[in-house]
Structure 1
Amino acid sequence: MDAMLLELASSVFCDIICDVVHQYALGPFDAYINYIRNMPYQEQTLHNLGKESPQIVEILHKLQEDPRCNRLPLKSFLSLPFQRITRLKILMENIQKKAVPRSDCEASALRALTEISRLLEACNWQVGRMKQMEEIVQIANKIEFACKALALVSSSRWLVKQGDLVQILLKENMFGQRKLCPVLLFLFNDLLLVATRKGLDRFVVHDYVHRSLIEVTEGKDLEEELEGCELDRIFRLVLLHNHQSATSQLLLQTNSEAEKDSWMQLLGGRRDGQDTVYEEWDCPQVRCIEVYSGQQQGELSLQLGDMINVMQKTSEGFLEGRRVQDGQRGWFSAACVVEITNEHVQRRHLRQRYHVLQTATRLLKQRSGGLELSTTKCFK
């Protein structure tokens, strides 16, 4: 802030304050993002030190009693960097409002406000990502695998929903009753874990599947005989390609119809169609076979051999994607690229194969009343 102080010393109006904010928001202020991302760890470390060492608490109390601290705790000083950025945004907003319309002052305030807002968004996003990472690390420390283990912690993975449900076995016992087994679902942005509880705060994972390889069916649409069951709280969950590379299914019951609807919306959220939006964890990938020069804002220029992850397709023949090499995102013509085989394509083929088999099974049932999907046993 030396530039601001020098300007204030020369003129109380500080005409270039917006330009100074804009200049620093483009460069040195990025250090704030790293600082704010680690703020939760600072606070946790301070909390742990206070619990472990009464002497540290005493020293902090003495420091905070100093008049220069204005009776503020250390936490207040740790959060000051972020508070200053928010205050700069408010300052830029006020300058823009009070500036003469279409003046140089208004234009410079708008430029500074745009960059400060970008910086704040990045800070908030980083804080959110750190909280998500903390959450997934805590889950990973509480689970064990009864099946083939996988690396759960990843910077690109986060928890979407978890919850307790009941699995219903179709086969009845000698008293005409169906066995009910408690299960716990962990739904991440790219993965589903099927687990059971082990004690108060431990879990055992029995199965898992990529999120794009899930099919769900409403209870009322099932062909199974479910007399006596509350169909509005039941849905069938099919794992098309689980940890054993097999297809299995679970008949699940929730505590309420609203909870069932919530699970079905999340588990069956994938959409196939002419105009399709993809998630970055499950998207097609293309290679440029013809140079494409973007002519308008938002278009992505491509060179031969560029690899692009496709985020969106339209029926007009345009794709939106992110170039693998540098992360640049934009629109381009589908005629300039060719799709390559990746995990997304393989999973798409698995879904298509499943639907074909389902159709064939229904036809066979109509003729002979025969085939069924393999059903996962009740987890213990």
Structure 2
Amino acid sequence: MVPRYNASSLWQELPEVKERGILETLNLQQRQLQEAIFEVVTSEASYQRSLSVAVNHFQKSRRLSECLVTSDKHTLFSNLPGVQEVSERFLLDLEEGLEKDIFLGDIGDRVLRHCPDFHRVYIPYVTNQMYQERLMQQLVRENGTFLQVLQKLEEQAVCKRQLLKSFLVLPFQRITRLKILLENIRKLAQSDSSMASSIRNAVSVVGQIVSQCNEGVRSMMQTEELVLLEKRMDFQNTKSVPLISRSRVLIHHGELVQIFFQELGAGHRPGLTTKPIYLHLFSDLLLLSNKTDTGRFLVTDYARRGRVKADRVKAKALGLPSPVFLLRLTQNHLGLSCDIVLQAPSEKEKEDWIAQITSQMAQGAES
């Protein structure tokens, strides 16, 4: 498909607008509205040209494909051809709409008609971008043949001095920009006009897609964080807990000091001994571990949501150093209850831990 309009085209310069003398019948706001509507068309046309370069010049390059294994090809380009197809259909619909009505008064309806397709292709593509970027960095660093072929492709005139990574980020930029363009139309459209309602709906639905794209990225980052963390966990002294879960999020973590009371015999106050302890607070789980010199974590105990409490204590009255708090595990990995006295690096961090643990772990106990 060859787009009919250029990014620099203006609505007021269209032959039909000039021939019919339409411009003279519109006030300033109405002219701005028409240019805002037309920008959806011209920007989609520009986007379509760039997607064609990404797919036809890069993804379909035989030499580039020979440098990549199948899984890397999928990670690098994801469902980009699907994104291109959806953009083609949307642009064609917009162009047909202009032919029927030079004002494109039903643009909101036309956007809404394509939103299910936007949802289907943009969310998985954007969600994959974290892995896409990481793979690109790895290939450039480790695959010399890939880098040579890529540089030759990027030097060709069709790229207009743009790098492959610039083309790969276009889909997220586009769906985000579409929301902004629709918001501009909504601001300029008369609130009682026939297009106002459909434009409001289009802004809402496209906005939801953008939010789900952001949520997809955030969720993938959280999952990746759990994957990396699980590799560093050693459950030598406890039953193993699988960390990777769709609903689990790492909320807070850090090293504290555990304080032990040491009996010194009759007539003597208990002595105090200390050792570092590392806490990982998840949305449904608290892990306690010893951090090794190699950066691994030897898990010593854990408890699930509803089985953990954090209480303030009067440090001075108990002869404890400040700032301390009491961590209560009402049911640990052995099914036992235990109290752990912890010292935080500062009063602020102590309060932070108490607040975070209370917020996350005081919810309904698991059966």
TM > 0.5: yes
1:153-179 alpha-carbon deviations (Å, 9 max, x no partner): 111111001000000002255896411
1:236-285 alpha-carbon deviations (Å, 9 max, x no partner): 0011111100001110000000000000001122698xxxxx6xxx5xxx
Say whether residues 1:185 and 2:279 are aligned partners.
yes
Say whether residues 1:227 and 2:319 are aligned partners.
yes
* Higher strand proportion (structure 1 or 2): 1
SS of residue matched to 1:268: helix
Q: Which moved more, 1:21-30 or 1:138-147?
A: 21-30
Change (3 A) 1:270 1:203: closer
User: C-alpha separation between the residues in 2 aligned to 1:65 and 1:84?
Assistant: 24
Q: Identify the residue that residue 263 of structure 1 maps to in structure 2.
A: 353
Q: Identify the residue that residue 17 of structure 1 maps to in structure 2.
A: 107
Q: Identify the residue that residue 172 of structure 2 maps to in structure 1.
A: 82
Q: Which runs of 5+ in 1 are unaligned?
A: 273-277, 283-342, 347-380
Aligned 8 A contact 1:173 1:179 in 2:
no
User: C-alpha separation between the residues in 1 aligned to 2:264 and 2:129?
Assistant: 56
- Of 221, 228, 236, the residue aligned with 1:131 is 221
Change (3 A) 1:271 1:65: closer
Q: Identify the residue that residue 252 of structure 2 maps to in structure 1.
A: 161
Instruction: Select the structure of larger CA radius of gyration.
Output: 2
Aligned residue pair count? 273
Identity of aligned residues (%): 34
SS of residue matched to 1:114: helix
Q: Identify the residue that residue 360 of structure 1 maps to in structure 2.
A: none
User: C-alpha separation between the residues in 2 aligned to 1:262 and 1:250?
Assistant: 17
The Cα of 1:92 is off from its aligned counterpart by 0.8
SS of residue matched to 1:162: strand
RMSD value, Cα: 2.1
Q: Identify the residue that residue 122 of structure 2 maps to in structure 1.
A: 32
The Cα of 1:132 is off from its aligned counterpart by 0.3
Aligned 8 A contact 1:18 1:109 in 2:
yes
* Higher helix proportion (structure 1 or 2): 2
Q: Identify the residue that residue 3 of structure 1 maps to in structure 2.
A: 93
SS of residue matched to 1:104: coil
Q: Which runs of 5+ in 2 are unaligned?
A: 1-89
User: C-alpha separation between the residues in 2 aligned to 1:170 and 1:25?
Assistant: 63
Change (3 A) 1:218 1:270: same
SS of residue matched to 2:177: helix
Q: Identify the residue that residue 185 of structure 2 maps to in structure 1.
A: 95
The Cα of 1:4 is off from its aligned counterpart by 1.4
Q: Which runs of 4+ in 1 moved over 6 A?
A: none
Aligned 8 A contact 2:309 2:361 in 1:
no
Q: Identify the residue that residue 70 of structure 1 maps to in structure 2.
A: 160
Q: Relative contact order, CA 8 A, sep 6+: which one is greater?
A: 2
The Cα of 1:129 is off from its aligned counterpart by 0.4
Change (3 A) 1:228 1:96: closer
Paired amino acid for 1:155? R
User: C-alpha separation between the residues in 2 aligned to 1:178 and 1:127?
Assistant: 46
Say whether residues 1:114 and 2:204 are aligned partners.
yes
- TM-score, scaled to structure 2: 0.70
